[in-house]
Amino acid sequence: MSDTPVTYVRKEMLGQKAPPTSEVGPVRWVRENLFSSPMNAILTILSLYVVYVVVSHVGPWLVNGIWDADSLTECREIIAATGDGHHSAACFGVISARWHQLVFGYYPSELYWRPVLALVVFLVGIAPVMFPSLPRKLYIVTMAAPLLCFWLLWGGSIWLPIAIALGFAVGVVAHKLLDTHVSSLAAIIGAIVLPLIYWLYICGPLAGGLASIIPLGIEFVPSRSFGGFMLSIVIGLSAIVISLPLGILLALARRSDLFIIKTCAVVFIEVIRGIPLIVWLFTAQLLLNYFLPPGSSFDLTLRVIIMVTLFAAAYIAEVIRGGLAALPKGQYEGADSLGLNYWQSMQLIVLPQALKISIPGIVNTFIGLFKDTTLVVFIGLFDPLGIASAIRATTEWNGIYWELFLFIGIMFFISCFSMGRYSLYLEKKLQREHR
Amino acid sequence: MKKTVFFGALTAAGLAAGMASAATLDDVKARGSLNCGVTTGLVGFAAPNAEGEWEGFDVGVCRAVAAAIFGDPTAVEFVPTTGQTRFTALASGEIDLLARNTTWTMSRDVDLKFEFVGVNYYDGQGFLVPKALGVTSATELDGATVCIQTGTTTELNLADYFRVNGITYEPVPIETNAEGQQQYLAGACDVYTTDASGLAATRATFENPNDHVLLPEIISKEPLGPLVRHGDNEWGDIARWTLNALITAEELGVTSENIEELAATPGNNPEVNRLLGTEGELGAMLGLEADWAKNAIMAGGNYGELFDNNIGESTSIALARGLNAQWTDGGLLYSPPFR
């Protein structure tokens, strides 16, 4: 071989070149996702045009929004003064003037801290349930939260919630005493009946008596002052919190072998579920009034909360029943073979799995329930939509629509979206199959 | 505790139902406030303001009745009612008085067992059209599309009117007044029809009210007034004569400004003296204080002042007195004498 170097053979490796611009980065993404075929290209251009039209109309309307006007007329004057007469602008002055009513209804403004504090108490109370990593001591707040929230929202004498709480103590004591001295069946019956008797006949006079000896309390706020998002949240959260345990019991009852219990559960669920919520609300508002003597006022908001809770419980029961049915039979048999009794097997083996399966359905029901609270507008309660029409019924703001609806929509979206996110977090955290 | 009330009430229901309606005044006095049913919001007639205080023409009636009983116009609990819930609320005793621009009709008075205590606003169904349409009379509306609230008397009135006049129309059904305004402004219908007071209030909210006109025809009678339950005539009398006191006060020139002066000493006009309690025993006949009417008038002024402050020509709604003027001015307001 000659010594002449072979010039056409490369001796060193070429450095890596950047890929062609059409194959990487945004250009490739656009090509692949937006213009991959003529049809898609047309669709993309059409969609872009639609987006442009919407943004070019809604954008200026939002951006030019006027926040400091005291009436629609003033708002229109400002728009006319600044613009060329053609441009449009939102009149957010209604939000800055009336946001407190949209949020708190007609709750006394100097007491706004109370519903806010109640919400904080609720959130602290529910935190250990939602996030198991938190210290267990927080369960003390969880147990006190319902009555504390009740007291903060409605106010009045502090002795009423304390007297109600004593009822639970009565139940626990009765259960313990009867269990050791009589029998476990008597203990269960006693733990249910005695507190009921206490609440019906002793609780009221006791609270009244204590209040007259040591008058201690905060200003009473009637339910009629509740409104706006506060009302939605009070109704929604009460119903959510109470309907879940109720729904679990109903689902278990429906799958029970005991004929009477099963029949009761089936009838309850089918009757409640078979009739629209609005009909139940009208029942709460109108029919109950006929059963009660004139003059007695069994609080309308409480009536609504009870109706909404029962309604939600029926749906939750069916969702959880689905979870129970999805569980392989082996799980039940395994629990039995371990010698666990019914409640133990449900608590330790069946329900944790069934509830996990049901999470999306449960949260779905809750989101629906929260939005359904706006139906109370039809029975004369001031939910956010009711407040919006009441605001429109004043001479200052008559004729304003979109700004109010936008605000209400955003508030509902925030609430419902966070519920949905939490459910996703929970699903991921509880995923056991693929670890 | 609410449960106690609930179950106690259930057991007592049978006993109480028959007799509880007998003494509304005693119940109201024991409660310390009047439960007054109003709308959930109607411009000029009843709506809560930015502070949550109820204001409006119907609200004024509630406040006057409360003032007549307690001497305090704020001793009222306002119960918002919808078109569906108002009558049940009154029949069941949840409210003592319904002042919710309710039309006085025979079936409501007789069949629903209510008692209308008078008329505080004579309304009637009218038509709102854009000026650009060039229509000057409702009879020219042949073939027009009409926005109309479903399930109301206005719907029936409209059908009757067009049939009598032998012209046709195409209805665009709407559910609420708010929807009606939007549909009309968006051009979904040529004509919007509802009570004339509502049309005036609606027109006042438009960006260019002068582009729209109310047609001269009023095609129905809608006497709106407060009502109470059958069966307690004493209570009905209080509501009726409070309303009459407001009307009479305007007729006699008693206003919230000169009332202190007139009520201080008996004056030359015996009817003013009887009205204000400086002469005679009219208050005692109702079971109220002698100065009941004075308090009622001071609550929000006489009828004319209430009208002017809430819906009159100085407000944005700008309703003329029209039928609601005193009989001496060619209107229909005619209170029986205080004697």
Chain B residues whose CB is inside 8 A of the A91 CB are none
* Number of Cβ within a 10 Å radius of residue B14: 9
Give the residue-averaged pLDDT of B312-336: 90
Give the residue-averaged pLDDT of B15-40: 77
Number of helical (H) and strand (E) elements in chain A, helices listed first: 19, 2
Chain A residues whose CB is inside 8 A of the B314 CB are none
Chain B residues whose CB is inside 8 A of the A222 CB are 77
CA distance A237 to A364: 14
What was the pLDDT predicted at B295?
94
Q: Considering only CA atoms, which of A94, B73, B301 is closest in space to residue B310?
A: B301
B148-193 residue pLDDT tens:
987 677 888 899 999 999 999 999 998 777 788 888 988 999 999 9
What was the pLDDT predicted at B329?
92
Is pLDDT of B4 > 50? no
B83-114 residue pLDDT tens:
878 888 898 888 999 998 888 988 889 999 99
Is pLDDT of B258 > 50? yes
What was the pLDDT predicted at B325?
94
- Is B291 at the interface with chain A, CB within 8 A? no
CA distance A112 to A44: 49
Domains of chain A by residue range: 19-63, 156-218, 223-435
Cα–Cα distance list, B65 to A101, A163, B9 (Å): 28, 39, 28
Q: Could you tell me which residues come within 8 angstroms of residue B185 by beta carbon, excluding any fewer than 6 positions away?
A: B206
Structure tokens at A413: 């979206």
Q: Please list the ranges in chain A whose pLDDT falls under 70.
A: 1-6, 83-87, 289-297, 432-435
- In sequence order, the β-bridge partners of residue B149 are B174
What was the pLDDT predicted at B11?
38
- Top CATH class of A223-435 equals mainly alpha
Is pLDDT of B12 > 60? no
What was the pLDDT predicted at B5?
43
Pick the CATH number of B21-122+223-329 from 3.40.50.1220, 3.40.47.10, 3.40.190.10, 3.30.70.600: 3.40.190.10
A166 three-state secondary structure: helix
Choose the closest CB to A390 out of B12, B41, B181: B41
What was the pLDDT predicted at A65?
85
Helix axis angle for A351-372 and A402-429, nearest 10°, is: 180
Number of helical (H) and strand (E) elements in chain B, helices listed first: 14, 13
CA distance A315 to A318: 5
Is pLDDT of B9 > 60? no
The residue assigned the tokens 């194959």 is A23
Give strand ranges (E) for A83-230: 156-157, 217-218
Asked if B316 lies within 8 A of A73 by C-beta distance, the reply is yes
User: What is the pLDDT of chain B when averaged over all its residues?
Assistant: 87
Is pLDDT of B137 > 80? yes
Is pLDDT of B19 > 50? no
Q: Could you tell me which residues come within 8 angstroms of residue A357 by beta carbon, excluding any fewer than 6 positions away?
A: A322, A323, A326, A327
Cα–Cα distance list, B123 to A270, B110, B196, B221, B224 (Å): 47, 21, 6, 7, 7
Of residues B2 and B135, the one with the higher pLDDT is B135
Q: Considering only CA atoms, which of B257, B225, B193, B216 is closest in space to residue B332?
A: B225
What was the pLDDT predicted at B8?
40
CA distance A174 to A168: 10
- Is B128 at the interface with chain A, CB within 8 A? no
Name the closest residue on chain A to residue B185, using Cα atoms.
Answer: A399
Give the residue-averaged pLDDT of B131-150: 89
Which residue intervals of chain B bear CATH 3.40.190.10?
Answer: 21-122+223-329, 128-220
Asked if A76 lies within 8 A of B89 by C-beta distance, the reply is no
What was the pLDDT predicted at A85?
58
Q: What pLDDT band is residue B1 in, cutting at 50, 70 and 90? A: very low
Fold of B128-220: D-Maltodextrin-Binding Protein; domain 2 (3.40.190)
Asked if B88 lies within 8 A of A224 by C-beta distance, the reply is no
CB A243 within 8 A of CB A313: yes
The residue assigned the tokens 């400086």 is B278
